[in-house]
Each structure stands twice: as structure tokens, then as C-alpha cells.
Amino acid sequence: MDQVTYRLGCDIGGTFTDFVLVNNKTGEFYTNKCLTTPSDPSDAVEQGIMELNKTMPGFMNNVEEVIHGTTLVINAIIERKGAKTGLITTKGFRDVLELGREIRYDAYDIFSEYPEPIVPRSLRLEIDERLTADGKILKDVDTKQVLDALEKFKAAGIESLAVCFINSYENPVNEKKIKAIIQKEAPDLFLSTSFEVLPQIREYERTCTTAVNAYVKPITYKYLKKLTTRLKTIGFTGKLFIMLSSGGITSVETAQEFPVRIIESGPTAAVIASQHYGKMFNIKDMFCFDMGGTTAKSCLIQKGHAGLVSTFEVGRVQRFKKGSGLPIQVPVVDLMEIGAGGGSIAKISKLGLLQVGPESAGADPGPACYKQGGKNPTVTDADLVLGYLDPDFFLGGTMALDIELSKKAIQEKIAGPLGTTMVEAAFGIHDLINETMAAAAKTHIAEKGGNPKVVTMSAFGGAGPVHAYGLARKIGAPAILVPPLAGVGSALGFFTAPVAFDLSRSHRVALNDADFKELELLFKELEQESAGILADAAKNQDIIYERTLLMRFVGQGAETDLVIEPRPFNEFSKAHIRNLFDVEYKRLYGRTYQETPVELVTFKVRASLPKRPFSIPELKTKTHDIQACIKGERLAFSVIQKDYIPFTVYDRSKLFPKASISGPAIIEERESTIIIGEDAKAQVDNFGFVWISLIKLGEMKNDK
């Protein structure tokens, strides 16, 4: 008899830590969800595994791999809890982090604020070295200056150091020299060099990204080292992988070296899962909606692919205003934060209006109903009062909620000051967050050239299925897809992600002047470097390479991404590359300028291993009687009638293929709750996916 083996997905969110265990042979899933432990996230990881162990004794001995996603890095940046970090840069460039691009993110706000640089000015030192724009050495590194800088840093007590020289993306020789000196003189100092972290143009973005990598490197290294040790002590002997922001997974060693690449590791997994389901059901356009305890994020998936962007922001001063945060220039799935989460706090603004978020109650103290000392009303409290959540079946009944504490918090903090009833205040909280998310979702979809009236929304996260119905009504989406285990969708999504890594290098050259043989060597170097990163995980598997060109018109400030065939670059003609650019530019912007010369700017390679087998097993439910799936009935708030009406409550674990449910209904499972209004219908497929279709008012009348 073959030994049963497993894979374990573990996603640490701001409020909950989610677990999904899959049996590699049968495809069966086992799940768990526990509160995150902010002071030491590995505590929750061990706690959740030990809880799973009660159901599956000794399973950790047979786990081949653990795939992990964490909010540790982004939280350290937002909360400014990273290491004391220094920066060495070229003479004259000490203030790049503060100068930025000298662009106002809000032209009409004279009081607009900007994030404090991740490295204070007193810890930014200059070295008198210089390279030309094409990489020629004008001034070499002076070893004495480096040693003097190190003495100053030691006196200041820094733990990590970033090095970023002007034009080093073209020639890293000076950064390599300084790296050798630091490794010899200060081997215990954590070091991040821009030629390794981000060898691309744009001095501000490159310096900021390198500095952020250095800032979070010590805590990431220590956390992953501690997590690895703790997993071994409870019987794990397999391989630990970490989810990347770009949608792939990588080794612990790579994540420790480049923690800036795992900033969005958790939310990305839900998008990769949604992309997998879209291909599974041949859905052209999907809108992935992932709402957890702290934030709600979205991504438009077009033609079966989630877009990748090369720059995003963290730690925004104004949460939804682009340009008010720290720019991070690494590959990341094109996510957009569209709202708050279940733990987001409702309050009265300075203008006397209802406001939800951005502050969150998190896991400690959590919403008022958690009975952990939270006094502020949250979205979860409102959902509980509205009847959408069962106080006795939260997390499958393992965590009881106190509705009276929710009512008290909403009455004292919202209803009383606004002069409304407690129920009106609760619905106001629920509806406001839906309205906020709808406005952001419409903008996000429109910016990508999509149409909300034709997308299928996929709902993930503990709060996603609760709010998906209300959000779909507001944006006009005709259908909602709620996959199995939606409440732990990110942890499940880890299994659909490939082992992959992205590398890039800037080398600006006009297309007409480019030597394609030389550029083929550049691509080959990137492929060899990425192969080395994947070597340990590859284990004799073939590595798949995907090449991307970033091009622009000469004089233009932004580039256009072009995915090209993975064949020798010197086999392409310049006319063919120019045509690829013109076609893509016209698709994006409506026209192109064929008379204007173009240039090649950055070269990218994604190296990945073949996709690993993953599939959702078909339902094995014995009953085919819909009445046997009913748990009972409870009053819940109707967004149409603006009053409490009876909702039929179903047990998702008992639903069977082709089961049909008409709203108003609530479908409960351990990790999440699905709300179906009276103007919607749901159908269950062979794999347990719940497909919700919204009915137009005329069709509702005909049904009746």
C-alpha cells in the first residue's frame, strides 16, 4: 500500500491564519482557521497545525511541502517596524528618497503629505564614485571612504545596509567592489545591493526598492528561520516554499534574500486560484474579489490571465491615492485594494458622516463581537446584527460571537451620534463598504478595458462571499462564482501556483541601433541566473522561460510590455519587433506613431517549472434531497425591502450536484458564509462550486 502524502497551504492574514491540507492521492481537503498572532506569526502557524493534527494525527510526517504566504513584510513597512537601515549611494544622490519624482499626487491639496523615507537622512551616506549612463567607469570606489562609512554606521547601530549607485544597472562593478569590502569587514551586516535587487532604470524607484528590501531583510530572515525550525520540531521534513507577489512560489533562501518580492504574497494566491478556475470553466473575463478581515482586494482576469505590473505602492499616506506611497519596482500581480475588511472600524468622520476604515481592529482586540475587549463597531459586527452571520456557527462553531456586544458598539458609536436606529446604522456600515468597493471596482475594471456587466465575479476570503452579492448588484455583474473553501481561498490557491522567479535588467538602446546577438546574450544571462535560483526545486525538471521586452517611443517616460516567443532573439527582425510594439500600443491606446523611433529599455525573463497536478475532486454527497440540506431559517436584512425577512439557511457540506437554491438564502460552511438575496438564484456543480446568477426585476415577477 502506497504511503499517503500531503501538501499544506498556510496563509497569514491580518486577522486570521488559514490552512488547507490536500491529500495528493485522493485530492481531499482538510481546513483550519485560527486568529493571527501579530507579535509572532509563527505562533499561529504552529497552533493551527496542531489543531489540524487532532483530526489527522501525525500528518506532518507525510507532508511533502508547505507553501506559505505572509503579511509580515507589508505590515513591517506600513507599521515601520523594520530594521534600522543605512544607505550608501553616489555622491550627490543622498536625497533621492526624499526628492522622489517631485510630482504632487493631489494637485489641489496644499496640505498633502508624503511617506517618510524608509532610511532617515542621517543614515544615508555618499561615496565619491561615478559611472556614465552606458556603464563606463568615471570614478572608482575608494576603499577608505567605504571603511569610514562603515565605522559611522556601526556607531549608529544599523542592522541592515542598502547600496545603490547611479547607473549601476548598466555595470555593477562598483557595487560588487563595495559588497566585497562589506562582506569582509562587516560579515554580520545584512546587505542589499541594487544590482541584485533591481538592476533597472529610474533612480528613485530603484533606490526605494533596494532600501525597502534592506529594511525588511533582517525580520524576514529571522522569521523564516524560526518558522523552518518550528516546522521541523513538529515533524515536517519536506520543502518549505514561499508565495511571491508575482504569482509564483520560491524557496525560503530566495525569500530571505529578496523579501521585497513577497510583500503581496497572500492576496496574490487568491488571484492565481481564480485564474485557475477561469481556465477550468473557460470563463473569458473574471473579477477576483478577495475580502478578508483587514482589506479587500481585486483583480480583473482577462482572457484567462491576470496581468502583471512592474511597480506598485505600499504604505500610502492617502490609502486610495496613487503616488502617496513608497514605490516598489518588482513584478506583482495587478491587484487593486478596493476597500476595507471584516475588521475595519466604523466611525463618525470630522464632517459628521459615517466612515468605514481604513483602521482595522485586526486579530487583537478584533471586532466587538469577538469578546476580546474591542469596543469599536466593525463590518463584521454589522454583518452579525443584520443576520448574515450565525453567532453560534462562526468558524464552524469553534468561536462564538456575542451579538449584544455588536449592538452596543453600533448603538453607542454610530446610531446614537447619527440619530438613527441601531439597525439603520448596521445596514449603513454594510452598504457603505459595498458602495466604496463598487466605485473602486468599476474604476479598476474600466482602466483595464473591461466591462462589469459581462464579468463573472469570484468571491474569496472570510468576508468575500458575505459581501459578493451586494457588490455584484452595485457594479452590475450578472454572475458570482463561489469556489469550495472560499474562506481559505488564498491558502488553497497556493497549490495552483508554479515554482517561478522573475528577473530583469535595463539596457537602453534604440531599436535601429540594437545588436540582437548582444541582446540574446543578455537574455541568456538572465535565464542562467534564474535557473540557478530554481536549481534546488527543479530536481531535473525542464525549466520553462518566458521573455518580455519593455519598449517605448524615444523620449517617452513609460514603457509598454511585449511578451515575445522564447526563441533566440537574433532570429527576430527589427521590423517584426517594431510591428509587435505598434500592434500592442494601438490595442492599449487606440493609435500608434509609426514615424516615431522606438527604443528597447528593459529585458525580463520569467523562469518557471512545469505546472504541478492540481484538481478539485468531484462531490461525493450521498443525498439528493434539497430539504436535507436545510439547517433552518433566520431573519436577515433584505437590501431590496430594507427590512428583516426570513432567509433559508443551507449547509454547504450537504449540497449536491445540480442542487438549485432560490433566494433569499444563506449557505454556511466552516470558513465563510454566502448571502443570496431574493433577486438571485444559485446552482451547485459537480465540483461543489456555487454559481449565483442575479435575476432582473422583470424575471423575478415572471418567476412568481
CA nearest neighbour of 394 among 409, 378, 410, 383: 383
Residue 674: what residue type? I
Mean of pLDDT values over 23-49: 86
pLDDT for the residue 1: 43
- Alpha-carbon torsion (427, 411, 400, 633), positive or negative: negative
Q: Is residue 524 a part of any domain in this protein? A: yes
H or E segment at 458?
A: strand 456-460
Band (190; pLDDT cuts 50, 70, 90): very high
> How many of the other CB atoms lie within 10 Å of CB of 15?
27
337 vs 373 pLDDT, higher one: 373
pLDDT for the residue 698: 44
From residue 246, alpha-carbon distances to 66, 162, 273, 624 in Å are 19, 23, 13, 42
- Alpha-carbon torsion (372, 376, 379, 384), positive or negative: positive
Lowest-pLDDT range of 213-217, 270-274, 401-405: 270-274
Per DSSP, what are the bridge partners of residue 188?
none
Kindly state the cell numbers that stand for 108: 489641489
Q: Is residue 286 a part of any domain in this protein? A: no
Lowest-pLDDT range of 81-95, 239-253, 592-606: 239-253
**Domain end: 608, 632, 662, which one?**
608
Q: Is residue 538 a part of any domain in this protein? A: yes
Mean of pLDDT values over 505-534: 93
| Complete edge-to-edge strand list for the sheet that includes strand 673-676 | 630-638, 643-651, 665-668, 673-676
Band (30; pLDDT cuts 50, 70, 90): confident
Report how many domains make up the chain. Answer: 2
Mean of pLDDT values over 103-132: 89
Residue the block writes with cell 436584512: 637
From residue 118, alpha-carbon distances to 95, 195, 231 in Å are 12, 19, 32
From residue 549, alpha-carbon distances to 5, 195, 308, 605 in Å are 41, 19, 13, 9
pLDDT for the residue 702: 45
Angle 519-521-525 from CA coordinates, rounded to 5°:
120
- Please give the Cα distance from 460 to 470 (Å, whole number): 14
pLDDT for the residue 2: 60
From residue 147, alpha-carbon distances to 36, 152, 198, 207, 504 in Å are 43, 9, 25, 21, 31
- Please give the Cα distance from 413 to 418 (Å, whole number): 9
Q: Is residue 291 a part of any domain in this protein? A: no
Q: Is residue 105 a part of any domain in this protein? A: yes
Per DSSP, what are the bridge partners of residue 456?
286, 479
**What is the tens place of the pLDDT at every residue in 191-237?**
999 999 999 999 999 999 999 999 999 999 999 999 999 999 998 99
Q: Which domain holds residue 551?
A: 500-608
Question: Which residues, at least 6 apart from 144, have a Cβ–Cβ distance to it below 8 Å?
Answer: none
pLDDT for the residue 701: 44
Q: Mean pLDDT, the chain, as a whole number?
A: 89
**Domain end: 164, 182, 216, which one?**
216
CA nearest neighbour of 128 among 178, 91, 78, 176: 91
Q: Say what percent of the chain tops pLDDT 90.
A: 56
**Domain end: 162, 190, 216, which one?**
216
**What is the tens place of the pLDDT at every residue in 276-328?**
899 889 998 899 998 887 778 888 998 888 877 888 888 777 766 777 888 89
**What is the tens place of the pLDDT at every residue in 421-452?**
999 999 999 999 999 899 888 988 888 878 89
Per DSSP, what are the bridge partners of residue 562?
549
Kindly state the cell numbers that stand for 261: 518580492
pLDDT for the residue 696: 62
Q: Is residue 174 a part of any domain in this protein? A: yes
Per DSSP, what are the bridge partners of residue 634?
647
H or E segment at 436?
A: helix 422-447
The CATH number given to whatever domain includes residue 199 is 3.40.1360
Is the per-residue pLDDT at 69 higher than 70? yes
Mean of pLDDT values over 513-524: 95
Mean of pLDDT values over 629-636: 93
Q: Is residue 161 a part of any domain in this protein? A: yes
Mean of pLDDT values over 632-648: 94
Mean of pLDDT values over 557-579: 92
pLDDT for the residue 700: 47
H or E segment at 20?
A: strand 16-23
Q: Is residue 168 a part of any domain in this protein? A: yes
pLDDT for the residue 27: 80
